[in-house]
Structure 1
Amino acid sequence: MELRTWVVAIALVTLPVHGAVASSSDLAFEWLSPTERLQAQRPDPAKDVHFTSFVETVDTTGGVVALFHPELSSRDGTISMRPRMMTFHVISSGLLRGLSPRDKVHVTVRRIRGAIMITNIQKLR
């Protein structure tokens, strides 16, 4: 291979992936664009569903957390689910910092891009 081909190949491999954000210890995937994250952070009583749960597993690099949720029902009807264990995407992997399995949390979810995503998660004492 000639040098030019190697330089192009290396440049393509090292380009940042759309939605990936570098953190101090690893790469964390962001499911939404910065604009979508800002929109999702704004409270919307018709779309938001709140509940309290315990963290089962956390994957900060994948931007997901597994929780057992109670029955979920949003006012606008976009969310209607029976209680179960579920893995949720978060709007920003930064929301998962400091969370560990068995932590008690208060969660806000909303349907975004067809998926039920966590827009806010707070560790409770």
Structure 2
Amino acid sequence: MRRLILSTALAAVLVGSVAPPAGAQPAKAAPAALERARDTMATRFRDTKLTGDPDRDFAALLIASLEETLFLAKTQLDYGADQQLRAIAQTIQETQQARIDALKQWQVRSREAGDRSQPNPTPPGEGPLDRAAPARPQPASPPAPEKPAASATPANAPLVAGTVKKVDEAAGKVTLDHASIPNIDMDAMTMAYRVQDPALLKGLKPGEKVRFSAERINGSIAVTRIQKAK
């Protein structure tokens, strides 16, 4: 019996001595962070303004939903200790951001002159899902590949104010708490970004104020310039 008690006590000491994962913040700050995440998730989707255009409203609501999940995943990466949950949060951060970028790129195109997308005028009950499927058409020649949307050159992309939260030189990423980025239609938020040139991360430290430029390159967002604020 005495051996069992001693073994149990020793196991408790060993479990309690396991260090939190690298990058995790003190657990005592987690409740406040999770409360902020819950408040954000409760209001962001609800407060999204609708236009009456089903395509644009769908995109706006989906972006709000994805960003809510992204915000929760970031909270887990900041404070969570369980490696499996952190891996899930990291996957969410990487996949959801790609979806958000694609939706925001569509939003930019939909506002350009000459865009022909219109609200669906079909009365209820007469949509394509309510009718019998038409005969399958014969295969046609594949359409020409769509040209990627033009973006500002590095020299012309605007510099945006931000604060460095984390530097990951091994992954070539920097986490920034930043203002809105107008040239890529990105709202103000805290997010991890890939850098176009790993040399941009040299000398950067968490807590530093910076000014940076970000652009869409090959379908994803990358930081192309970053400099310490004066």
Q: Under a length normalisation based on structure 2, what TM-score does the superposition of the two structures give?
A: 0.32
Instruction: Confirm whether residue 43 of structure 1 aligns to residue 154 of structure 2.
Output: yes
Point out where structure 2 has 5 or more consecutive residues left out of the alignment.
1-152
Instruction: Give the conservation status (yes or no) of the 8 Å contact 1:88–1:116.
Output: yes
- Output the amino acid matched with 2:192: T
Instruction: Confirm whether residue 84 of structure 1 aligns to residue 84 of structure 2.
Output: no
Distance in structure 1 (CA, Å) of the matches to 2:158 and 2:216: 10
Q: Secondary structure at the match of 2:175?
A: strand
Question: 1:59 maps to what in 2?
Answer: 168
Point out where structure 1 has 5 or more consecutive residues left out of the alignment.
1-41
Deviation (angstroms), 1:43: 3.1
Instruction: Give the conservation status (yes or no) of the 8 Å contact 2:213–2:224.
Output: yes
Question: 1:113 maps to what in 2?
Answer: 218
Distance in structure 2 (CA, Å) of the matches to 1:44 and 1:123: 17
Instruction: Give the conservation status (yes or no) of the 8 Å contact 2:154–2:213.
Output: no
Deviation (angstroms), 1:124: 2.4
Instruction: Give the conservation status (yes or no) of the 8 Å contact 1:95–1:120.
Output: yes
- Output the amino acid matched with 2:216: R
Q: Secondary structure at the match of 1:61?
A: coil
- Output the amino acid matched with 2:201: L
Q: Which has the higher helix share?
A: 2
RMSD: 1.5
Query: Which of 199, 217, 221 pairs up with 1:94?
Result: 199
Instruction: Confirm whether residue 72 of structure 1 aligns to residue 181 of structure 2.
Output: yes
Instruction: Give the conservation status (yes or no) of the 8 Å contact 2:194–2:221.
Output: yes
Identity of aligned residues (%): 35
- Output the amino acid matched with 2:214: V
Instruction: Give the conservation status (yes or no) of the 8 Å contact 2:173–2:195.
Output: yes
Distance in structure 1 (CA, Å) of the matches to 2:189 and 2:178: 6
Segments of 4+ in structure 1 off by > 4 A? none
Deviation (angstroms), 1:49: 3.4
Deviation (angstroms), 1:52: 1.2
1:78-97 CA distance string (max 9 Å, x none): x1122111111001111100
Higher CA-based Rg: 2
Q: Secondary structure at the match of 1:54?
A: strand
- Output the amino acid matched with 1:108: S
Q: Secondary structure at the match of 2:159?
A: strand
